[in-house]
Amino acid sequence: MVAYWIFALVSLLMVLAALVAVTNRNLVRATMGLVLVLFGNAVLFVLLEAYFLAVAQVIIYIGAIAILIVFAIMLTRHVGDAWGPAFHRAWAWAVVVAGGLAVGLLFWIAHWPAADGKAKSPVDPQYTKLLGKALVAPDGYVIPFEVASALLLAALIGAIYVAWGGRRVKGPYPQRSEEKEA
Amino acid sequence: MIPLGAYLMVSAALFVIGAFGALARKSAVAILIGLELMFNAALLNAVAFWRYLHPQGFDGTVFAIVILAVAAAEVAVGLALFIAVYRRFGTAEADEIALLRG
Amino acid sequence: MGAFLRDPSVLVEALRTLFLGWGLSPGLTTLLLYVLGGLVLATGPMLWVIFLIWFERKAVARFQDRLGPNRVGKFGLLQPFADVLKLLTKEDIIPAGVDPILYWAAPILSVAGVLLLWPAVPLGLGIGGNINVGVLYLIAAGTVGTFAIFLAGWSSNNKYALLGAMRTVAQLVSYEVPMVLILLIPVLLARSMNMQDIVRAQDVWFIVYVPLAALIFLIVSIAEIGRTPFDLLEAESEIIAGFHTEYSGMKFAMFFAGEFLHAFTIGILTAVFFLGGWRGPGAETYPVLGILYLWLKGFLVYFVVVWMRATHPRIRIDHLLNFSWKFLTPLALVLLVVAALLDKVVVDLGTWPRALAHLVSHGVVLAVTLQIVRAWARRLPRPVVSEPRPVARPQPQPQPTGTGD
Amino acid sequence: MTNELLLWLLPLPPLLAFALIVLFLNKSNKASHTVAILSVVLSWLGSMVLFLRALGIGAEALAEHPMHDSLVWLPGKTSLLRIGVYLDPLTAVTLFFVAWTIVMIFVYSVGYHNYGQPKGDHDEKGYPPHGATVEEHGHKHKVPSIEPMYARFFAFVSLFAFGMYLLVVSDNLLTLFAGWEIMGLCSFLLIGFWFKKESARAAAIKAFMTTRVGDVFMLLGIAYLYVATGSLAYTDVFNPEVLHQLAHSPAPVLGMSVAGFIGLLLFIGTVGKSAQWPLHVWLPDAMEGPTPVSAMIHAATMVSAGVYLIIRVFPLLHAAAEVPEFLSPMPIIAFIGAFTALFAATIAVAQNDIKRVLAYSTISQLGYMVAAVGIGAYVAAAFHLVTHAFFKALLFLGSGSVIHGMEHGVLHTGERIDPQNMYNMGGLRRKMPITFWTFLIGGFALAGFPVVTAGFWSKDEILGEAFAGHHMGVFWTLAVAALLTAFYTMRQITLTFLGEPRTEAAKHAHETPWTMTVPLMVLSVFAVGYGWVGVPKYFPVLGGLLPHWFQEWVGAVFHLYVKEEQAVSHSLVPLLVSILVSLGGLALGYVVYRGVTRADQPDPLARPLGPIFTLLKNKYYFDELYAFLFVRPAYWLAEVFTFRWLDRTVIDGILHAVARLSWNLGQFLRNYIDLPLINGFGDALGEGAKGFGRLFRAIQSGRVQHYMLVALAHVVAFLMLVYYYATMS
């Protein structure tokens, strides 16, 4: 019973926070909305008995990703300031497409027979340990795991490389070549 | 126990909101935030499916871990691009950056 | 009473029967007990902070050859209460242009971030934290504090606050890396992330196994809480008071209390990871005794922290970051790898040989590190305090050609 | 180390060497080649250990229980896509020759790229080295200079070796394909190694594109196989039950069974990689790369990979051929192989470039192997694959040595001649004795010189199998091709080494350094010796004395699938024919070309009608007889029929006709439709086009979100559609 209430509360909070995250003009506040959603997600993970993932979610998303976003906002002057509209001109189209997506998804979930299913079996209390072993077992998931780490390394190096160089060009746009000639 | 569909609904809501954010926001960072919401929805889905359909296996969890890694990589590269773009153009509004305009 | 000393959980059971007797449902009772436990766990440390503040003021005063608070109450013991009273009655100033929600949320989060660490701490055998992924939880909870500081700085609408917040975030993020790496060493030695297991594995304190790791953990922890010599987040000579420049009254007090509590928590964590936690003579039989031991050990470390605060100057920001990325992180990595490889070999040797092997490995690592640092330091250009400035040198005078006298 | 672990490790050293050279060592030539050679020596060592261990296990046991180990690659719901390593007798012999040739080629490359020579005067990256001026004893002269992209070469070639090892040890078609593609990439990089040469660039692109055609079909075959069986591992797919099922279910096209169709698709991959007609065009052009590359591609690795693949999937082909209701792919394979063998041999006769002759000869020899597979003689094909790898590597490296020697002479004399043209050589046997003798051995092996050379045994076996299986068309085609092979080989040897030097450069040619000659000597040992492990049983006298190892060894692999044919009474006809054509061809070649004495002399075969008179004065009426009886028709076939008529007139004609047609069409359109239209409605049309452009320009807004929006909208629509159909049906 308590779990129901927690779930209902947290998911409501998450949806509201998500709305804040996508609508608030102020980027830092939007990020805070995101953080709330991420945190709510961690709570849902706990409800789903995925404790390891819940903690990993907090560490990686809140501890790393959200901080990174905030940092990027801070590093770029004026970006964090709230001015101008939050959406571009064609935002109505986005509403249409997202709405279509929502209708489709809800329809799908509502008509899916397994959607109101109960869990088949309880989670092994030793699950985290087994997961750790499966992640590095040669016959388990070591290759996806290593690929993920290689991806992270590549992303790290790439990010450093991309963010390192490049000087700011005077004026808002670089001139396009044809315009220069004209 | 909470039905699986409830988690899927939450996840769908997050996904749609995230998609809307990614599609409609002006700022590149806000787009990234939208993408993160979508990632989270996928993550929630993966974990919920794992818990309800196959709790003894590792596929769902490993999938979630991979999503986490991909999200981290995506944000790192995305923000690096964002900073590079900001340096180059002096703005980070996605709809103003249209070098490939036909 | 005796039963309570042997097994503190009888208290919980007694409460449970009491609540059930009132006619509450079992689920609600459990929830109530959780809330109650949380309250106790939150209130206890917060009250303890009051003593800590007095202690620190007193201790620092002694270090600086002063007397410290001595007017209010015996030895000035009631001074913190007076302070709190003063802060409570101050005018609650909210600067213009702040972001109201975040501005208010920041101090709360700051305290919550510290209190969140406590549920994972094993206070005694069977008392306190018993989280399966406890160490990971600690790291996760630590991020909340980072956010609090950042939010405080950003929402204050003040340049200095923002600068302080930026510094803080950079510092905290940097020092989190060696912290996580170092925390993995006790985890590795105990083969568990559960802090209760870590304590239980310390038949010999881990500080004997891995003294360097303990030292690094202490240093990194001090940086994490932003105390001297790493207190750049509130370097008053540069950025006034850093992130809490715009905070006053009770909100400021919360930051203040949070910081002190965090310092003490660091002491507790060091004790848990490296000083055997609640272990001590008789702690297995009377788990309540364990709390006392843990408190003592934590307090000892806290004293060291205070001591450092009183004796070290503040270091420069670039040195701070370099120290983390270029020294602590590689060293922590090396220690982790060495510990992992070595432990694989010596794990079956019995407690003392294993401890000795680790100790020797740390000796070797220390020697090599010092050698490397020495070699590196020799190649540094000597700092030139003042360049010889070009001055109007007297023109070489034509030599007197002996026409005089 | 366990066998499986060793197998896993086998491809890694070259990859590591590649990474090391690319990332760290590329500044140092010495470190680069040391690491590269060390890596392939390590792989070689592993291969030899594995080979010896495999020998210890024995053919039957190894074929029953191959060394096999695999890891999960992608966990899926029903089937696990696994990667793994696999060693059965076929892999073992392939590993053997791959390891040896690769090591030899690596060592050889050090010498070929002039390690230890000074830097060139005006060498630049992307051009072959032009030579350097050094001062010695007071006067200046030119010597070869070191390759400017020395380290890069070793990096590429290491990656290439990695690809080959990966291909050989993989236990499934997917990793095999990965290795296959890595080699494709490397061959592109290496053929275009001197990328500032227009011709090298063109050749690289040509090679890449042509093999791509085959690869696409091969990938289709792999995909089809996966769909049909749910696995790509050899152990799963070549299961008799699976094969039986595949062979008995019809494929949607061509009236083939699924097995046959997949086999055919995979075979098209082989056609591309092994340069079979009609995808052979890239291989001769691939000579633009450095010679070790030619050896690598044309002998040891890449082209062998195609034949290896088709031998590997032989059970599939065989199963398809067994079922009479469906069209069998085997005759197609046999036809293409035999046709290629003859076709390429005829072209080879008319070439003057020393490497080009070898290139066509390679195509022809690969045709032999393919034809052998096509008639079901996979053991013979494998045998010829191995022997050919050895002697063709030897020949290529030998030709490289010759060219190198000639370049030395060219630099010394400053003549402006082509160092690769055989007419500019002559008499090199005295200047380059080691190269000469090893080249002779390789050439004789290629020509199938009876009894002593490896080429004889393998070629003889193919001919014997063709004869025994009553594939008379294949038999005679291959016999004629063998004759031509012997002929052009001898032509090459005669023009290059025999006689007197025909240019100053040839007089000043030099023997090459030990790094180049030692590999030649090692390979020549194999070019002779490897034949002796596979002497057929029925061979008079020797058949009883010498082991019949190879046939038993490789034969054991497909024992399960291929019923051992009852002992056909082997006739001596194919044996006699093969001896005859080889000796005849060799004699012919020598006799025809020993008279070439000047560099500008026309080819004795190409002499137009006029100079016949002058020739008549010559005392070699014998020559003329041969020329008239065999050589001229052969030449005619090569030059006029195949080259001029088939290639130039028919194939090119069609192309030109198409081109002309489209050009004419274009003219017509322009003159009668376009121009009037423009005159009439030009402005309106232009405006209309502009309007349309403006309209559609909005699509390409350059905005990420716009694209995302459109993409997501499509996804949503598509999902709805899918859902609709999924629920309605």
Predicted pLDDT at C30: 81
pLDDT at A176: 45
Contact A90 D716 (CB under 8 A): no
| Intra-chain end-to-end CA distance of chain B, in Å | 54
Q: Determine the pLDDT at residue D205.
A: 77
What would the mean pLDDT of D22-50 be, rounded to a whole number?
A: 87
Which pLDDT band, with edges at 50, 70 and 90, does C366 fall under? very high
Of the candidates C140, C147, C166, which has its C-beta nearest A55's C-beta? C140
Asked if C360 has any chain A CB less than 8 Å from its own CB, the reply is no
Asked whether at least 3 C-beta pairs link A and B within 8 Å, the reply is yes
Q: Is the confidence at residue C271, as pLDDT, over 80? A: yes
Q: Cα separation of C10 and C18, whole Å?
A: 12
pLDDT tens digit sequence for D359-408: 888 888 888 888 888 888 888 888 888 888 888 888 888 888 888 888 88
pLDDT at D619: 30
Which chain A residue lies closest to C106 (C-alpha atoms)? A32
**What is the overall mean pLDDT for chain D?**
79
Tell me the sheet residues that pair with D233. D172
CB contact under 8 Å between B100 and D708, yes or no, is no
Chains contacting B (3+ CB pairs below 8 angstroms): A, D
Please give the residue that has the higher pLDDT: either D343 or D181. D181
- Could B95 and D703 be called an inter-chain contact, meaning their C-beta atoms sit closer than 8 Å? yes
Q: How far apart are CA B63 and CA D243, in angstroms?
A: 35
Structure tokens at D478: 């291959």
B48: nearest CA in chain A?
A48
Which candidate from C27, C140, C146 shows the least CB-CB separation from A67? C146
What would the DSSP string read from start to end of C228-291?
A: TTS-GGG-HHHHTTGGGTT--HHHHHHHHHHHHHHHHHHHHHHHHHHS-TT-STTTTT-HHHHH
Which chains, if any, share at least 3 CB pairs under 8 A with chain D?
A, B
C7-18: average pLDDT: 79
Query: Rounded to an integer, what distance in angstroms lies between the CA atom of residue C366 and that of residue C358?
Result: 12
C151 inside 8 A of chain A by CB:
yes
CA distance B29 to chain D (A): 13
Confidence grade of residue C286 (pLDDT, cut at 50, 70, 90): confident
Q: Is D536:D570 a contact under the CB 8 Å cutoff?
A: yes
- The residues on D that touch A, with CB distances below 8 Å, are 71-75, 705-706, 709, 712-713, 716-717, 719-720, 723, 727
Position C85 scores a pLDDT of 83
DSSP, residue by residue, D534-573: ---TTSTTHHHHS--HHHHHHHTTTTTTSPPPP-----SH
For D417-431, how does the pLDDT look when each residue is reduced to its tens digit (9 = 90+)? 777 877 788 778 888
What pLDDT band is residue D620 in, cutting at 50, 70 and 90?
A: very low
Q: What is the pLDDT of residue C401?
A: 61
D329 vs C360, higher pLDDT:
C360
What are the start-end ranges of the E strands in B28-80?
Answer: none
pLDDT at C247: 81
**Is the confidence at residue D159, as pLDDT, over 80?**
yes
Contact between residue D387 and residue D350 where contact means Cβ atoms under 8 Å apart: no
> Are A97 and B23 an interchain contact pair (Cβ–Cβ within 8 Å)?
yes
Q: Read off the pLDDT of residues D214-268 as tens digits, 9 standing for 90 and up.
A: 888 888 888 888 888 877 888 888 888 888 888 888 777 767 788 888 888 888 8
Question: What three-state secondary structure class fits A37?
Answer: helix
Q: How far C311 CA sits from the closest chain A CA (Å)?
A: 32
Predicted local confidence at residue D621, as pLDDT = 40
Averaged pLDDT for residues B30-56: 87
Kindly report the average pLDDT of chain B as a whole number: 83
Confidence of residue D624 (pLDDT cuts 50, 70, 90): very low
B92 touches chain A (CB under 8 A): yes
Please report which confidence band the pLDDT of residue D625 belongs to, taking 50, 70 and 90 as the band edges. Answer: very low
pLDDT band with cut points at 50, 70 and 90 for residue C336: very high
pLDDT score of C217: 92
pLDDT band at B41 (very low <50, low <70, confident <90, very high): very high
- C263-272 average pLDDT score: 89
Q: What is the largest CA-CA distance in chain A?
A: 72
Q: Which residues of C touch A59 (CB under 8 A)?
A: 136, 139-140, 143
Tokens 């007419």 belong to which residue?
D423
Q: Is the pLDDT of residue D608 over 60?
A: no
Q: Which of residues 163-182 of C touch A (CB under 8 A)?
A: 166, 169, 173, 176
Cβ contact D72–A97 (<8 Å): no
- Which pLDDT does position A14 carry in this prediction? 92
pLDDT digits (tens, 9 = 90+) for C124-150: 777 777 777 788 888 888 888 888 888
- DSSP 8-state symbol, D327: B
CA distances (Å), origin C72, targets A47, C77, C82? 50, 7, 8
Contact D75 A90 (CB under 8 A): no
- pLDDT at residue A180, as a whole number: 44
Contact D712 B23 (CB under 8 A): yes
Cis check for the bond before D519: say yes or no (omega within 30 of 0). no
Q: What is the mean pLDDT of residues C40-56?
A: 84
Q: CB–CB of C170/C320 below 8 Å?
A: no
Range among C13-27, D540-554, D668-682 rated most confident: C13-27
Average pLDDT in chain C = 82
Contact B29 A38 (CB under 8 A): no
Over residues A54-93, the pLDDT tens digits come to: 888 888 888 888 888 887 887 776 655 656 677 777 778 8
Give the Cα separation of B41 and B46 in Å (integer).
Answer: 9
Q: What is the mean pLDDT of residues B67-81?
A: 86
Q: Which of A79, A108, A170 has the highest number of chain B CBs within 10 A, making it the mutation to test binding with B?
A: A79
Q: Give tens-digit pLDDT for C72-130.
A: 777 778 888 888 888 888 877 788 877 778 888 888 888 888 888 888 888 877 777 77
Between B2 and D102, where is the model more confident?
D102
Best residue of A143, A145, A147, A178 to probe chain D, by most D CBs closer than 10 Å: A143
Chain B residues lying within 8 Å of D699, measured CB to CB: 102
Contact C140 A59 (CB under 8 A): yes
Kindly tell me if the per-residue pLDDT of D470 is higher than 50. yes
Task: Answer yes or no: CATH 3.10.20.600 is held by domain B4-93.
Answer: no
Q: Which chains touch C (3 or more CB pairs under 8 A)?
A: A
pLDDT on residue C332: 92
Indicate whether D618 pLDDT > 70: no
Q: What is the DSSP string of D349-379?
A: HT--BHHHHHHHHHHHHHHHHHHHHHTT-HH
Cβ contact, residue pair D701, B31, below 8 Å: no
B79 and chain A in contact, CB less than 8 A: yes
Q: Do D703 and B31 touch (CB under 8 A)?
A: no
Give the list of residues 6+ apart from residue D667 with CB closer than 8 angstroms, or none: none
Average pLDDT over residues A111-135: 77
Identify the H or E element spanning C43: helix C26-63
In chain B, the residue whose alpha carbon lies closest to the alpha carbon of A164 is: B84
| Greater model confidence, D411 or D639 | D411
Residues paired with residue D141 on neighbouring β-strands, in sequence order = D134
Per-residue pLDDT at D641: 67
Kind and range of the H or E run holding C123? strand C122-124
**Residue boundaries of the structural domains of chain B:** 4-93
Residues B95, D705: C-beta atoms closer than 8 Å: yes
pLDDT for position D541: 63
Q: What pLDDT sits at residue A175?
A: 44
Q: C388 falls in which pLDDT band (50, 70, 90)? A: low
